[in-house]
Amino acid sequence: MGYIDLEWKHYFNDEPTRIVSEIGIDDYEARKLEFFHDGSVGFAFGSTESLHTRLWH
């Protein structure tokens, strides 16, 4: 298991400025957090998703 913590500097209000992903032993995302300019946080794990945050499989 590993982690990716990415800061993305841009001016798109509908795109996250920070993405934190947990990578499972199968090398796919197991959990994810996405932080946005307005302070909202999207998350995804298993079949649960919020604010259009999705896991990559």
pLDDT for the residue 57? 74
Question: Residue-wise pLDDT tens for the chain (57 aa)?
Answer: 899 999 999 989 899 999 999 999 999 999 999 999 999 999 999 999 998 999 987
- In the chain, DSSP assigns E strands to 2-7, 18-23, 29-35, 41-45, 48-49
31 exposure class (CB count in 10 Å sphere: 0-12, 13-18, 19+)? middle
pLDDT for the residue 40? 96
pLDDT for the residue 56? 82
